[in-house]
Structure 1
Amino acid sequence: MKAGAFLYPWDVVGDPAAADRIAGLGVQQVTLAAAYHSTRALTPRHPAHRVVTAEHAAVLYPSDPDRWAGRALAPYRQSWMAGEDPYGEAAEALAAAGLEVHSWVVLAHNSRLGAEHPDTSVVNAYGDRYPWAPCIARPDVRAYLVDLAAEAAVRPGARGTELESCGWYGFAHLHAHDKAGGVPLGDAAQYLMSLCFCTECRQGYGEAGADPGELAAAVRRALEPAWSGSGSTESGWDGVGKLLGPGLADATWRRRGRVARTVQESAVAAVRAEAPPGFQVLLHADPAPYHTGANVGVDPDHIVAVADGVVLPCTGPDAVRAAVLGPFAGRTGVLAANFGVVGGMGGSPATLERDAAHAASLGADQLRLYHAGLASGPDMAAVAGALSRIG
């Protein structure tokens, strides 16, 4: 199985040994961040620093001023790394070590965009804005994301791209100093908390046959027991229907599903229009279409007809892998199983060989390892050992 590892440019730039060290793991590909959200990242092996604080979402290469001239929504430049093109510098070093470089592009996840342009954000049924979650139904947001996908994906030397959060973002997000875990919410309640009620979405619900005011009130009523009790455990689309009622649930998805599909189609088409022949386009995805977040909910039949494949979250018990890989069984395209290999972040590098074999039995044909720059020395050693046995 072809194996790839995720990496940030700051894991490589300024560390002459980094590229060879990554190649020594036994991976063939690096998925290198070109456009990324705010984060605080540990760099346990870098000779010059231990922590990098990316203060806001930014592109990690010099964006094209002509593309963004006169536009209110445009990518932010990074300021926490020296040089104009840290992505390009890291990509060149990795390629010189014999690694295939693919760009890693985060789209609908941008807290600074929401802070500076609040009208672009998802608004929940209570009127609260989610500044980290751009509403993909808004034409200006959609245009920004599609152009960002094309520019950030097709970097010099890149052989492909992986688009993250190419769809709806919502409530479930580890925001800065997150304090949102006091009331447990199952994925059905998460969906309700992620429904957007901005002016664009309210109009869209009306077009789908649901009065937006009545829909917002129904969401609040459905969630009230969670706030006054011990949370909400409903899960699956049946759980959404139980909370909201099947008619209203279906109306929300008719609207949101159509928007998500058109954004995904437009983003992939924009990338391909600028990419060389053979450039691979994958989406970080989840086969439950109503799910939101970095691994966006997709319709498996639709997405394999649009992109070259998907990257699916596979860390955890066998049932998790079966749930995410199973709906793609028998379909064409890349099926990459993404495993966390940072033990301190819930990953399990010690079981990688066994878990990868299970994923392969379910149809996975590639591996992704999150994250070679964040993992400890023992975690990296366990990954190298597993990959040497997987072959």
Structure 2
Amino acid sequence: MRTSAFVYPWDVDGDPEAPGRIAALGVEQVTLAAAYHSTRALTPRHPRHRVVTAAHAAVLYPPGERWDGRALRPYAAGDWAPGDAFGEAAAALAGAGLEVHTWVVLAHNSRLGAEHPDTSVVNAYGDRYPWAPCIAQPATRAYLVDLAAEAAVRPGARGTELESLGWYGLQHLHAHDKTGGVALGDAGQYLMALCFCPSCRDGYGRHEADAGELAAAVRDALEPVWRGAPSDGGWAGVEKLLGERLAHATRAYRDATAQSLQQDAVAAVRAAAPEGFQVLLHADPVSYHVGANAGVDPAHILSVADGVVVPCAGGTGLLAPFAEHRREGTVLAANLTVVSGMGGSPGTLAADAAAARGQGATELRLYHAGLASDGDLDAVRSALAGP
């Protein structure tokens, strides 16, 4: 199967050995970050540094003129990725024979929420999630669509992978995270992800759910959960907590909002891209799920994009719902973590790849060539070389 490794520009820029080392793993492609959230990352082999601190979400290239005069605009990177860091890394990787695709993080931006708090998701208690731009707001949607088009279609890129193109919720590691004291479960996490900003309050009304009634119902439903009652059971658990009428109204509104944004963003990328440019989404096949792997309807998203990148660190079961709707040429990429220190299992990569193929995967994504230790990379190289 065609295999791509995730890479940051700072893994490559300033390290002349990096492109050849990545190519020697046996991958054909790299998925190189062009727009990325704040992070602290190891660079265990770089000749100049060992830790990179990206202080805020940023584009890793000079932002274009389309942003002139706009309040919502991408932030340039600091010294962790100066100038056209993406372009420099892309050229070096292409020189080693690797096909370059962009990696674009969209609705996940803590600095945007800090500087423009009205853009953020607001939960039923009135708490804002500054890391989570509300994708229902017209100005935020326009910003995300334009960011997708610009960051995806960088010079030399042959395709893109769009991450966080959907709703975000509570479950985000935020600084020194202290939110694990109550097990919210799948249903509780959904209720804590519901947004009550003005745009969303209007949206619920269009689906015959009064926003005030809904917010009160969410708070009432969660009260036993805060005291330790379970809130699992998937969507049935949401219906049990919130009641079928309100549960279905929220899901109808949120699914429609996410789907229209996904359609608009993919269309904008295609309009900006050359012929044959591949557009994939990082996706979860359960539409009410939130986060970096946006919850989607498999049939819908595979009618819009060229395919999906599916999280498989916990097993390959999420591939099957997409495989049911695969068409000729559809990409189903299994995303496998190969950093043992982050819970990955590079030693079982061959078996994991076989399992993914059995569930319908057509390609592999390896997270992450820059973060992995030498031992992890040796295991990847061995697995991709085959028996």
TM-score interval for Structure 1 and Structure 2 normalised by the shorter chain: over 0.9
1:353 aligns with 2:347: no
Partner in structure 2 of residue 280 of structure 1: 278
1:182-217 deviations in Å (ceiling 9; x for gaps) = 111211111100000001100110110111111011
Q: How much does 1:83 deviate?
A: 4.0
Structure-1-length-normalised TM-score: 0.97
Gaps of 5+ in 1: none
The residue type equivalent to 1:42 in the other structure is L
Partner in structure 2 of residue 340 of structure 1: 337
Distance in structure 1 (CA, Å) of the matches to 2:337 and 2:18 = 20
The residue type equivalent to 1:327 in the other structure is P
Three-state SS of the structure 2 residue aligned to 1:81 is: coil
Q: Is the 8 A contact 1:53 1:80 kept in 2?
A: no
Three-state SS of the structure 2 residue aligned to 1:21 is: helix
The residue type equivalent to 2:275 in the other structure is P
Three-state SS of the structure 2 residue aligned to 1:242 is: helix
Q: Is the 8 A contact 2:60 2:82 kept in 1?
A: no
Distance in structure 2 (CA, Å) of the matches to 1:232 and 1:42 = 37
Partner in structure 1 of residue 56 of structure 2: 56
Partner in structure 2 of residue 271 of structure 1: 269
The residue type equivalent to 1:294 in the other structure is A
Distance in structure 2 (CA, Å) of the matches to 1:187 and 1:350 = 31
Partner in structure 1 of residue 321 of structure 2: 327
Partner in structure 2 of residue 206 of structure 1: 205
Q: How much does 1:235 deviate?
A: 3.2
**Number of residue pairs aligned between Structure 1 and Structure 2:** 384
1:118 aligns with 2:113: no
The residue type equivalent to 2:321 in the other structure is P
Distance in structure 2 (CA, Å) of the matches to 1:221 and 1:381 = 53
Distance in structure 1 (CA, Å) of the matches to 2:287 and 2:91 = 37
Distance in structure 1 (CA, Å) of the matches to 2:231 and 2:379 = 36
1:297 aligns with 2:264: no
Three-state SS of the structure 1 residue aligned to 2:316 is: helix
1:377 aligns with 2:374: yes
Q: Is the 8 A contact 1:52 1:80 kept in 2?
A: no
Q: How much does 1:176 deviate?
A: 1.1
The residue type equivalent to 1:380 in the other structure is L
1:78-115 deviations in Å (ceiling 9; x for gaps) = 01236410000000000000000000000000000000
- Bigger mean CA deviation after superposition, 31-40 or 342-351: 342-351
Q: How does 1:74-89 map to 2 (within 5 A)?
A: 74-81=73-80, 83-89=82-88
Partner in structure 1 of residue 230 of structure 2: 232
Q: Is the 8 A contact 1:146 1:263 kept in 2?
A: yes
1:206-249 deviations in Å (ceiling 9; x for gaps) = 110111111011111111111122x5341311111111111111
Q: How much does 1:389 deviate?
A: 1.0
Distance in structure 2 (CA, Å) of the matches to 1:68 and 1:180 = 36
Partner in structure 1 of residue 19 of structure 2: 19
Q: Is the 8 A contact 2:6 2:369 kept in 1?
A: yes
Q: How does 1:32-43 map to 2 (within 5 A)?
A: 32-43=32-43
Distance in structure 1 (CA, Å) of the matches to 2:230 and 2:104 = 33
Three-state SS of the structure 1 residue aligned to 2:69 is: coil
1:359-388 deviations in Å (ceiling 9; x for gaps) = 101110000000110011111111111111
Q: Is the 8 A contact 2:285 2:321 kept in 1?
A: yes
The residue type equivalent to 1:370 in the other structure is Y
Distance in structure 2 (CA, Å) of the matches to 1:82 and 1:353 = 34
**Residues 274 and 82 of structure 1: CA distance in aligned 2, closer, same or farther (over 3 Å):** closer
1:314-338 deviations in Å (ceiling 9; x for gaps) = 012xxx412x111112412100000
1:272-326 deviations in Å (ceiling 9; x for gaps) = 001000000000000000000000000000000000000000012xxx412x111
Distance in structure 2 (CA, Å) of the matches to 1:293 and 1:81 = 25
Distance in structure 2 (CA, Å) of the matches to 1:81 and 1:203 = 40
Three-state SS of the structure 2 residue aligned to 1:288 is: coil
| Aligned Cα root-mean-square deviation (Å) | 1.0
**Residues 76 and 82 of structure 1: CA distance in aligned 2, closer, same or farther (over 3 Å):** closer
Partner in structure 2 of residue 309 of structure 1: 307
Q: How does 1:42-191 map to 2 (within 5 A)?
A: 42-64=42-64, 66-81=65-80, 83-191=82-190
Gaps of 5+ in 2: none
The residue type equivalent to 1:47 in the other structure is P
Identity percentage of aligned residues: 71
1:327-360 deviations in Å (ceiling 9; x for gaps) = 1124121000000111111111111110110110
1:366 aligns with 2:363: yes
1:28 aligns with 2:28: yes
Distance in structure 1 (CA, Å) of the matches to 2:230 and 2:31 = 36
